[in-house]
Amino acid sequence: MRFLLGLIAVFVAASSAPAAETTSAQRPDIKIGIILPLSGDVAFQGTDCQTGISLLKKDLSHRHLAFRYNFIIEDDQMVNAQTALATQKLIHTDKVDVLIPANSGPCATAKPFCVRAQVPMIASLASDQSIADGGYCFTNAAKVDKQALLYIQTAKKLDYKRLGILYVYHQGANAVHQSIIRYAKEYGMEIVADEHFIPGERDFRTLWLRIKEKQPDLMLVLAFDPECGIIWKHYKQMGITTPLSSIEWLACTTTLPEINGAWQIGSAYGIYKTGFYERVKKEAPKTDFVLYSAFAYDSVNIVINAYEEWAKTHASGKPTGKEIAALIHQLPYEGALGKITVDKQGVIDSDVGLWIVEKGELKPVDLQELKTKLGK
């Protein structure tokens, strides 16, 4: 495993809170462990998350902080075994105070280590909301049921009746799939094809053939790269013309230029309202997916806000993991994603909406715009 280890940011500032006159230089440092896929098939995701962290670093340099924050970043390539190694190193060797991994599989792998060590964890970009436990563990991804419901409602309004599903057997995708099945039944949408594959699959022609025989009028695809790229390739090779759609996973591929016209229900819809999208495109124009930058920015900033809130009533020392977890549950927050909520389970939720692929980019649309673009 290749670890990318470094203290990428140390912030020092005097606290402006009256009850916490001790300066950050006199307090213990707060270590925040971050696990991202910085190499491998989805390295673009980790790179875009780093963009969000870099922007947060700039913003923190203008704040009067009670604590100094050290960020220690590890690369897990989105491979669960490597996540386990990185998590143990961060908790037991680096003694991090908080852990922020990314994606459902790695976050589920990290969870038991965090629970045993009583280290708060924000599972960024984790669609599997069973990871959130009402205690130390949170998820920061739009609620799956909300996305699935909007997807089925949108498909119905677009007059689709026969849905085909192709999804990777993966914790996050499984959660979305289960929710889609439930709402499709509730809203009377027929699922005529329902196929899954194991990560690492490289030939989708047989699956596409089975799906094609069932004649769906809309396809829901849930997959990551590199499988995404191969799915699109075989889709075209076999002459399939069924419209493509997704929930979140169009933001998990670098093959967007090839799939113009595909649409999805996706999170980070608030990045346009908050101005975060424009900021990223101006300050980091090579960023592929601004939504990853936004989730990374907010996941880390939520933690920092909790520590700074605690310092307002404590003149020295640092809080326990339990105290920080309690504050994350309680504190209002509005950031790159807009206004967020945290429920009792610890699910951090934000706005979702409609997106379409145009000129190789995901762009937000409303329902009427989507109908027009799809010729509906």
What pLDDT sits at residue 31?
98
Q: Does 134 fall in a domain?
A: yes
Do 188 and 221 belong together in one domain?
A: yes
Q: In what order do the strands lie in the sheet with 190-197?
A: 190-197, 162-168, 218-222, 244-247, 263-267, 352-358, 361-365
Do 167 and 310 belong together in one domain?
A: no
Q: Report the CATH number that the domain containing residue 276 is assigned in CATH.
A: 3.40.50.2300
Alpha-carbon distance of 179 to 228, in angstroms, equals 21
Residue 80, both tokens = 């669960």
Using the predicted structure, report yes or no on whether residue 14 has a pLDDT greater than 60.
no
Using the predicted structure, report yes or no on whether residue 149 has a pLDDT greater than 60.
yes
Q: Which is nearest to 183 in space by CA: 137, 208, 220, 216?
A: 220
What pLDDT sits at residue 23?
58
Do 76 and 89 belong together in one domain?
A: yes
Do 263 and 361 belong together in one domain?
A: yes
Across residues 66-91, what is the average pLDDT? 97
Across residues 224-239, what is the average pLDDT? 91
Do 19 and 130 belong together in one domain?
A: yes
Q: Does 1 fall in a domain?
A: no
Q: Does 172 fall in a domain?
A: yes
Do 125 and 180 belong together in one domain?
A: no
Alpha-carbon distance of 87 to 195, in angstroms, equals 33
Residue 213 per-residue DSSP state: H
Do 248 and 200 belong together in one domain?
A: yes
Q: Which is nearest to 210 in space by CA: 175, 250, 178, 165?
A: 165
Q: Which is nearest to 52 in space by CA: 283, 363, 306, 331?
A: 283
What pLDDT sits at residue 117?
98
Alpha-carbon distance of 241 to 202, in angstroms, equals 21
Amino acid in the structure at residue 325: A
Containing 197, the helix (H) or strand (E) segment is strand 190-197
Q: Does 24 fall in a domain?
A: yes
Band of the pLDDT at 252, cuts 50, 70, 90? confident
Residue 15, both tokens = 């606290």
Q: 312 or 259, which is more confident?
A: 312
Q: Does 85 fall in a domain?
A: yes
What percentage of the chain exceeds 70 in pLDDT?
93
Alpha-carbon distance of 322 to 335, in angstroms, equals 24
List, for residues 26-60, the tens digit of each pLDDT value: 788 999 999 999 999 889 999 999 999 999 999 99
- DSSP track, 193-224: EEEEE-TT----HHHHHHHHHH--SEEEEE--
Torsion of CA 124, 125, 127, 133, to 10 degrees: 0
- The structural domain count of the chain equals 2
Band of the pLDDT at 22, cuts 50, 70, 90? low
State which residues form the domain around 203: 144-267+353-374
Q: Does 2 fall in a domain?
A: no
Residue 103 per-residue DSSP state: S
Do 36 and 117 belong together in one domain?
A: yes
Q: Does 104 fall in a domain?
A: yes
Give me the phi and psi of 4, to 5 degrees please: -105, 100
Using the predicted structure, report yes or no on whether residue 97 has a pLDDT greater than 50.
yes
Do 204 and 313 belong together in one domain?
A: no
Do 260 and 314 belong together in one domain?
A: no
Amino acid in the structure at residue 266: G
What pLDDT sits at residue 170?
87
Using the predicted structure, report yes or no on whether residue 241 has a pLDDT greater than 50.
yes
Q: Does 37 fall in a domain?
A: yes
What percentage of the chain exceeds 90 in pLDDT?
80
Do 158 and 250 belong together in one domain?
A: yes
- DSSP track, 231-295: HHHHHHHTT--PPEEEESGGGG-S-GGG-TT-EEEEE-GGGTTTTHHHHHHHH-TT-S-HHHHHH
Do 156 and 168 belong together in one domain?
A: yes
List, for residues 276-331, the tens digit of each pLDDT value: 999 999 999 988 888 899 999 999 999 999 999 999 999 999 999 999 999 999 99
